[in-house]
Amino acid sequence: MEKDHCERRKLIPERVIEDLRHEGTTVTYEEAETILKFVQTIARIAVNQYLSGRLEDL
């Protein structure tokens, strides 16, 4: 069951295209890939900053 939930939540270019089209924005597959890479980079930075702040508190 957990795997099914993760599969539905997984961000793939097709999902980005669909979600943005729903909001009225049209993007190509390549643009969707670029958006995903950017979001992954921002997420990685946010997690690293959060964790480094938590480690300083220990």
Residue 14 pLDDT: 97
pLDDT band at residue 53 under the 50/70/90 scheme: confident
**C-alpha to C-alpha distance for 30 and 36, rounded to whole angstroms:** 10
Angle between helices 13-22 and 29-57 (to 10 degrees): 100
Q: What is the pLDDT of residue 55?
A: 66
Choose between 27 and 57: higher pLDDT: 27
- Sign of the CA dihedral 52, 48, 42, 11? negative
The reply to whether the predicted model has a pTM over 0.75 is: no
Q: What is the pLDDT of residues 23-37, one digit of tens each?
A: 999 999 999 999 999
Q: What pLDDT, on a 0 to 100 scale, did the predictor assign at position 7?
A: 61
* Contact yes or no for 36/16 (Cβ under 8 A): yes
Question: Could you tell me which of 29, 2, 37 has the C-alpha nearest to residue 13?
Answer: 29
In this structure, what token pair is assigned to residue 18? Answer: 């669909």
